[in-house]
Amino acid sequence: MTQLLWNGLFVGSFYALVALGYTMVYGIIRLLNFAHGDLYMLGAFVGFGVLSVAGGLATGLGFVALLIVLIIAMLVTGTAGLLLERIAYRPLRGAPRLSVLITAVGASFAIEYGMRLVAGPNPEVYPVRLAGDSVNVLGARITIQQASLILIAVLLMAGLQWLVMGTGTGRAMRAISQDPTAALYMGINVDAVIARTFFIGSALAGAAGVMAGGYYGKIDFLMGFIIGLKAFTAAVIGGIGNIKGAMLGGLALGLLESIGTAWIGGQWRDVFAFSFLIIFLTLRPTGILGERVTERV
């Protein structure tokens, strides 16, 4: 059971990082960015490309190389998120929500099959794997690399919480989520704050992509689809629009998958997780930390 809990927390940290991007964007402009999972995939491939170019140097540095690549991937995917917001979403900000939703789906396919043209349809093996000596903690085998990645994920989430709650940019984000028109009248540059939100959320997704590549060891151009659904599920479980809720939802989903895999087999883990989502939302539609809100018009 201890091993199951550890595996669930480790995988759940990936889900939480991606779910944060979903919940940040939805909380501010009420947009479900279905292309967000593909930015996770993009981060994984950016890491793969940099590690492949570095070759033997990256292999020799091992985990340190993965950390350097993680930062590079965050910058690249953050910039991709900026471009996505500027090109695909900003021109439609006043359009009906169905139009924006269809655009998000189209952007998702564009990123997926654009990467297929660049990298090919076949899965790629990650040059650097999270392998190392493990220690036994209460019956669970834990490697230093795994513990370090969880620590990085926790630091990123804590940094985001500080940014949102303790800085001027965070106050501007919260003001826009309440009333973007009033925020504009108060002198807040709404477009710039929304762009920063996309950059931060996309950078976190890219970090999760590199972590997943190093952990699972295999990536492909469709890997963002299922992680996008799961991150959206995590955001809904936690209470979409709530940052702490997204973190809790990601960890909860990771634990559910780990336990479900042990109980009913790996091929049923997604069924187990989404079945739980249906049951949970039947009992608490707003999620763990969500609140009932009045829809803005």
pLDDT per position as a tens digit, 64-73: 777 888 889 9
Q: Place 294 in a pLDDT band, splitting at 50, 70 and 90.
A: very low
Pick the CATH number of 2-283 from 2.70.50, 2.60.40, 1.20.1080, 1.10.3470: 1.10.3470
Q: Judge contact between 197 and 173, C-beta under 8 A.
A: yes
Q: Place 110 in a pLDDT band, splitting at 50, 70 and 90.
A: very high
Q: Which two tokens stand for residue 73?
A: 């991937």
CA distance 42 to 53: 17
pLDDT per position as a tens digit, 245-268: 888 888 888 888 777 777 776 677
Tracing tokens 């931060």 back to the chain, one arrives at 200
The pair phi, psi for residue 222, each rounded to 5°, is -100, 5
SS3 state at 289: coil
Contacts of 32 (CB under 8 A, 6+ apart): 22, 26, 101, 104, 232
CA distance 35 to 259: 29
DSSP β-ladder status, 140-143 and 134-137: antiparallel
pLDDT per position as a tens digit, 189-237: 888 989 998 999 899 888 888 888 887 888 889 888 888 888 888 888 8
